[in-house]
Amino acid sequence: MYDFLFVLIPKYFPFLLKGAVVTLQLSVLSMALGILIGLAVALGRLARRPWLDWPLRCYVELWRGVPLVVQLLVIYFTLPQIGLTLSGFWAGVLGLSLNLGAYLSEVFRAAILSLDKGQREAGLSIGMSRNKIYLRVILPQALKIAIPTVGGYFISLLKDSSLVSFIAVNELLRHGSIVIANTFLSMQVYLMVAIIYFVLSFVAARGVHWIEQRLTPAHLRTGTRINASPISSKLTEAKS
């Protein structure tokens, strides 16, 4: 125990943290790209153009049907064959974001479809253009609906990004493996790696919650109550 706290941690923790920084970079970049891909694909599929819909649908089905690690290996080893050489890091970002994009497109599509068409028609009936309606009415609400799920994907991504250690990216897990290769202290090192992953996920989960709260109108936030309307106060009266 003394060794773990006062020898191993000071010696190897900074190296592991460096790996954790790469894990974070990978995750944040992939998430940002994945959200853009997911939104574009969702909007493309909702545009009701068959020539656009079926290729996008093939993408979504294919990417959801193949294990992530296989996708990463395919990208890492086949892109150079066609003359595109990406570093492990960027191959990882590409692989993770394409994978996320496929899943998130379905999340966004479902969120958009869950909004009833009434608000769209109201926008049209006062002369708003379809794009304006999307930008100002539909997307803000759909994104709000999607945020908890997207946040969940981000937390998974922090952990799933460990798969890019297969394509030699020096992220957290691979840094752990390097330390173990030199020290043979697998248990202690994996414990440190686990703790770091846990802290990352925990902080991310709090962050997602904070964003959710920020985007919720004040009167609907849990734990706060301002501007209580006649109806909602009637409801709470009835309950209490």
- Of residues 102-131, which lie at the interface with other proteins (CB under 8 A)? 118-119, 121-129
- Which of 32/122 has CB closer to other proteins? 122
**Token pair of 74 as six digits:** 């395919």
Is 200:162 a contact under the CB 8 Å cutoff? no
Q: Is 227 one of the binding residues for other proteins (CB under 8 A)?
A: yes
CA–CA dist 55, 42 (Å, integer): 12
Size of the residue set binding other proteins (CB under 8 A): 25
Q: How far is the CB of 65 from other proteins (least distance, A)?
A: 35
CA nearest neighbour of 108 among 35, 56, 181: 35
Q: Is 235 one of the binding residues for other proteins (CB under 8 A)?
A: no
Q: Where are the beta strands (DSSP E) in 87-214?
A: none
The amino acid at 116: D
- Which of 135/194 has CB closer to other proteins? 135
Candidate residues 132, 148, 186, 224; the one interacting with other proteins per rule CB under 8 A: 132
Is 38:101 a contact under the CB 8 Å cutoff? yes
Stated length of the chain: 240
Longest Cα separation, the chain: 72
Residue with tokens 């940002």: 32
- Which of 141/188 has CB closer to other proteins? 141
Binding characters for other proteins, 140-159, by CB under 8 A (x = yes) = xx--x---------------
- The residues binding other proteins (CB under 8 A) are 118-119, 121-129, 132, 136-137, 140-141, 144, 217, 219-220, 227, 229-232
